[in-house]
Structure 1
Amino acid sequence: MYLLKKYSLLLIFALTGLMACKKDDYYLDSGLANPYFKGTVVDYLNAKPFYFDTIVSIVKLAGMESILTRDTVTFFAPTDYSVQNLIRDCNADLYNNGYDTIRSLQDVPKEIWRKYLGSYIFHGANQLKDYPQIDYSLLINFPGQTYYSWDMQPMNIGVEYNSDNGVKYVGYRQLTIGYIPDISKPTNWIVAKVASCNILTDNGVVHVLNADHFYFGFDRDKFSKDMQAAFASSGK
């Protein structure tokens, strides 16, 4: 019942997140709030266990807690909802291919957690204003920009300028991040939108992803193949 309630509310979070970053303010669930958080990125995640308790566990298992505590970073924070979806569907793949399933977060090797968590972490503290415009219907003119994550995964980051009363680009701005599976196909992205942007912590900036970001790590198939290889090597 608790999980059902939790993820039902996360769906509401996804819907209300469409108002995020309006006029460059800080919004959470469409509620205006203080953008400054006294503490580190990890402290912020710990302060929001409803959304991030599983993410915090992954940060620790990946051995990246010190990075999100001591280094200056920008973190595009996925919610626990995306981890639930990933594990559930990955387990279906594992079962169908004759492998053991993931019963706890500890069943996933450290290097795999780091590989996928690292795609959300970037050097430096960047706010919405620091990213270029992107228009997914007109990428030739507004392509955003390719950035390399902490462990050098290419990602596209840009700001959508929405329309208002039929007038293009004058509406609210929404930060987006796109996973690039193949750098030779630079527009074949898996895109996630930010629900709450510009959360300023002692060691960087947090941008919380909308719950429509369905799979932690962006690419469920690649994660599943990595887990099959890990279980095969361990004899599971």
Structure 2
Amino acid sequence: MIKNTIAICGLVLLAFTACKRDKYYKDGGLAQANFPGTMLDYLDAHPAPFDTIAQVVRLAGLTDMFNKEDITFFAPDDQVINRTIGTIYTGGLNSFLYRRGRDTVRDISEIDSSIWRKYLLQYIFKGANRLKDYPQIDFSLVNIYPGGLYYTLGGNVMNIGVTFADANGIKYLGYRQLVLSYIPDISNPDYDWRSFSVSSSDIKPKNGVVHALLTDGLYLGYDPNIFFTEVYNAGLK
């Protein structure tokens, strides 16, 4: 059964070199659960992982959503934006544009705001949903523990589930971890999932819930070629 869920993501000023991450993004157990501010305040208060993401939130016109609405945000970090934009030498959008004779991105504000909005909404779901609110998923037994299907605020269908690790030889007794899976073709929903684990879950600002993603290998929008093509077709400001 597909559940409707909302979530909104925020992104900020692009730095072409990776920022040093806060320690708890390596170890989810170290994240502070409650934050005495809005979701956008939370992003602003953690510039090392989220400086560029906070700027993208503003460029996308999602400031009110991140300040007032109850949403669940599976948060990519600045490394995802850096990887997606890239350079003419390392791949990414700038390499894509350069090879086609187009100007490259020098500032993320040059990308149309509607594109930022569309792609951030792919990480946002309606309501404030914690780890305990999602069903179990076992990728080796998906017929038994399939997770659940949820609509993003951008209209994409994603699978979200909680994996249960084994402990002391007992199945499912160990730690639990949220996993977000991109489904490229909803007409063939069991094929070619791209799954990304959460490093820190249940971060609770005054509105909504943030689940910080482990973002190694993640591009904004999950499929970089679609993002590249849309920016190419729209042109830069």
State the TM bucket, normalised to the shorter chain: 0.7 to 0.9
Q: Distance in 2 between matches of 1:50 and 1:75?
A: 18
Give the conservation status (yes or no) of the 8 Å contact 2:112–2:234.
yes
Residue 165 of structure 1 and its aligned partner are, at CA, apart by 3.4
Residue 3 of structure 1 and its aligned partner are, at CA, apart by 7.0
Amino acid at match of 2:210: V
SS in 2 for 1:85: helix
Identify the residue that residue 184 of structure 1 maps to in structure 2: 187
Is residue 2:22 matched to residue 1:6? no
Q: For the structure 1 residues 77 and 38, does the alpha-carbon distance in structure 2 shift closer, same or farther, using more than 3 Å as the test? A: same
State which of 156, 173, 178 in structure 2 corresponds to 1:175.
Answer: 178
Q: Distance in 2 between matches of 1:93 and 1:54?
A: 21
- Spell out the pairing of 1:139-154 with structure 2 (5 A cutoff): 139-154=142-157
Amino acid at match of 1:148: Y
- Spell out the pairing of 1:32-181 with structure 2 (5 A cutoff): 33-88=31-86, 89-181=92-184
Q: Distance in 2 between matches of 1:74 and 1:213?
A: 22
How many residue pairs were aligned? 217
SS in 1 for 2:48: helix
Amino acid at match of 2:48: F
- Spell out the pairing of 1:6-25 with structure 2 (5 A cutoff): 6-7=19-20, 9=21, 16-17=26-27, 20=28
Identify the residue that residue 220 of structure 1 maps to in structure 2: 224
Q: For the structure 1 residues 5 and 222, does the alpha-carbon distance in structure 2 shift closer, same or farther, using more than 3 Å as the test? A: closer
Q: CA RMSD in A?
A: 2.1
Structure 1, unmatched stretches of 5+, are: 21-26
Structure 2, unmatched stretches of 5+, are: 1-14, 87-91
SS in 1 for 2:138: coil
Q: Which moved more, 1:159-168 or 1:220-229?
A: 159-168
Alignment deviations for residues 116-165 of structure 1 (CA, whole Å, 9 cap, x no partner): 10011111000000000111122111111110011211111110111223
Q: Distance in 2 between matches of 1:230 and 1:5?
A: 27
Amino acid at match of 1:137: S
Q: Which has the higher helix share?
A: 1
Q: Alignment identity in percent? A: 44
Q: TM-score, normalised by structure 2?
A: 0.85
